[in-house]
Each structure stands twice: as structure tokens, then as C-alpha cells.
Chains A and B, each alone.
Chain A
Amino acid sequence: MNTSHEGRAARAIAREIHATCERSSRPIHLMEVCGTHTMAIAQSGLKALLPNNLKLVSGPGCPVCVTEKRYIDQALETGRKYDARIVTFGDLIRVPGSSGSLATFRSEGGRVKVVYSPLDMIRIAQAESARPTVFLGVGFETTAPTVAATLKTAVPTGVSNLYVLPAFKTIHPPLKILAAKEDLDGFLLPGHVSAIIGSDCYRYLAEEFHKPGVVAGFEPLDILVALRELVRLAVDGPPQILNRYKRVVREGGNPAAREIMYEVFEPTDAVWRGLGLIPGSGLKLRGPYAGFDSLTAMPVNVSPTEDDPRCLCAAILTGAKTPDRCGLFGKQCTPEEPVGPCMVSSEGTCAAHYKYGSA
């Protein structure tokens, strides 16, 4: 396949999408649940190929975007109060807390280390010997098993100054809330979260909520093919779950990864930016791993936070609004000086609109 082949295939799929949408008397709203899809769609300029009555809205699958501001405050306070080394993925660095971000904390002399893999935290903790090392555990079912596997690896090393501040989340609880919304007609389901949890587990979308869902890969053609199926199911029915990322996603997902994840974590309630408290939607350290919990070992007192009332992230994360409705977009709020998390994260909807336009 070369680029001109791909272009032709893309236009052929887009024509089928147009034909299906023409049969619909009303606009069709599809949610891309995952932030990596949001970014891939914006980057590829895919929306230009789609009909006007097909609306793609972004969902809550951007880990940084759905993390509460209070979490950043907890991380900063842990760093300050216990002189801890904070270890994190790069995406969190510029998310504003109530008083500065991890980036400003670092510029003031705070110890912050960005890593690519959670495995690095073991080596970092060993090098710090006595100083506590705290990993910021943010992410979904793709990331949680990598942190779980890291902690399993850490136990036999005897490292005793390693902690995790967990804010992991699972995708089904918010999806159930969103599936009940009448203005959403179907879901483009995440690729790599599904690699772990499988494509079968989304059946409730079709069976209980009568909404279709299609698991998609990340290449523009993967996304187009998945959209073609999703539009067809949304317009003609029946509500059904399809897997169009079969080269990676198995029906039952990756059981080995889930076993590791649930050996180390168990479900707990979690607060989502935009969706509030959702019972059973978070993960906390369990059993012999509870000792790694940073808040138990090093409690911090952080007051409840309020988001900037002008920031529309909450509505954007539930597909209710688009960034152009925000008065701060591109003015007071840019990727360099972000006001809300949807502009900070490289997968955030506002960042995608800012970088690639909304076409």
C-alpha cells in the first residue's frame, strides 16, 4: 500500500459513509471514547472527508483530562511536605493545580522526574535510597497493568521508599453513564484499553442501552473503517458490538495483563473531572500491595478544589460541548499557557483543536 492507494481506499470508505448518512433524517452523534483517537482524527484531517450530519464528539478517555485538579495538589503537597521525588509520565507536568503545576514545582527546586516506563521508578527509588519516591499513577486499563507489573517486580528487590499515588480509572463505569444519554448514537471504542479488557465486554452497550460500538485501531484507515460500520449500525441497526482492530484486540482481551492488574489493584470509587464521583470506577492498591499507597504512608491535607468556572472541559469530556464554545480557547488558554486539562494533555480535545483546527 502506498499513499495514493491509501487515499483512494479512504475516499471509497468515505463515500459509503456519506451514502449511509444520507439515509438518516437527523444528525448522527458518535463519541470517540479514547483520547488517542481524538488526536488521530484531528491530525489526519479525517473530518473533512465526513458528511456534515455526522458529528464526532470526544469522550472521557484522556487520562490527564479526567484527573481532578485536587490530585495535582496532592502530588505537589506530597513532594513539599515529605521532600519526595515525584516520578511521572510527561503529560501531567504542566497540568495546573490550585497553586502551580509540577513544572513550576520543579522550577522552584522540587524533585520531579519524567519517565517513559513505570519500570524506571524502581531504579530511581533505589538511587534515592532514603528519600520517598512517588509515582503518579494516572491512566486506564492499558497503563494500570504496567504499574501493577512494576510493583510486582519491585517487591523482591526489597526497595522500601517506593510509593504510588493512584488515580487509575476504568472505562466501563463512565461508558454506562454516557450510553444512557439520548444524544449519543454510538461509540468508537478504544484500541489499547480493549487489548487488555477485550471486545466482548462491551456487549451491555448494545443489550442494555441499544447503542452500537466498534473497536478501532489508530491508523486513519482503521478509524474510517470503524466509522463506516458504526454509522451503518447507528442508522440501520441492529445495535451491536464489532471489533475492527482484530490484529491486536482479542474477544477476551489479555487475561495475563488483567490477572496482574487485579492482583495489585481492586476497584474503588473515583472522582472524574466532568462526570463527578462514579462508584467503582477507580483502582486502589490491595492486600500486600497496600503499603505502596503514598497517601496511607504519607498523608496530605488538601482542600477541595474548584475548576476555573470559564473552562468548559467538564462539558467537553462528556461530548456536550466543543472547544470553540469556550471563550478562553486560543486566547487566555493555549498549550503553552493552559487553563484546563483538555488543553494540557497531548490527547486533549482542546489541544487537538488548537493544533489541527476543528475541520
Chain B
Amino acid sequence: MCLAVPMRLVEISGDGVGKVDTGGVTAPVSLMMIPHAQVGDYLIIHAGFGIEVLDANEAEIRLDLFRELAEATAEPAEP
């Protein structure tokens, strides 16, 4: 039931409500649980509610880790 894909907040319409971009289509999202969210943030959404703001720095650290792992592995590319 948990949606793992973060979605970008494109608009704060006021009163704890905003809009996220879901691949070109916008969808309403409640910001009641993440009052500090700002336009441009990536949000974790559960059942129409933003439950957390993605930490862009940590997301980058994670990608770097995987890149390093992949590069350190001297395997031929997959056929």
C-alpha cells in the first residue's frame, strides 16, 4: 500500500493543500502533516497526504553509493 515514488510539489494553494506533479498530470495533496513543505520539494505521498519531504542531500548520497559500487565492480556490461 505504500507508494515509494516521490512526487514534486508544484503549487501550494493555501490552507494546507497543494498540487503534485505525477508525470505531467497534477493531483491534489494535503500538506497538513508537512506544513514546512515548499514548492519544488519532492514529497512522499500516502493516501492523498504528504507524509514526508524527501531529503535531497541524502538522496544524492545514496545514488553516489550505488554508482561507486557499480563502477568498482569490474564486470562486463550485461549482454
Contact = CB atoms under 8 A, between A and B. Distances in A.
Interface of A: 1, 4-9, 11-13, 34-36, 40, 63, 89, 91, 116-120, 139, 142-143, 145-146, 149, 152-153, 191-192, 195-196, 217-219, 221-222, 225, 246-250, 254, 256-257, 260, 346-347
B75 A248 contact: no
B59 interface: yes
A256 B51 CA distance: 9
28 contacts: A1-B63, A5-B70, A7-B78, A8-B73, A12-B72, A12-B73, A13-B69, A40-B4, A116-B47, A118-B48, A142-B1, A146-B49, A149-B49, A153-B32, A192-B51, A217-B4, A218-B4, A221-B66, A246-B55, A246-B58, A247-B54, A247-B59, A254-B33, A254-B34, A256-B33, A256-B35, A346-B1, A347-B1
Interface string B35-79: 100000000101111011011101101110111011011010110
A195 B44 contact: yes
Interface of A is mostly: helix
B1 A89 contact: yes
A142 B55 contact: no
Interface in B20-36: 30, 32-35
A257 B69 CA distance: 36
A248 B55 contact: yes
- Give the size category of B's interface with A: 20 to 34
A219 B72 CA distance: 21
A146 B51 CA distance: 9
A37 B48 CA distance: 21
Interface of B: 1-2, 4, 30, 32-35, 44, 46-49, 51-52, 54-56, 58-59, 61-63, 65-67, 69-70, 72-73, 75, 77-78
A221 B65 CA distance: 11
A141 to B, nearest CB: 10
A75 B77 CA distance: 55
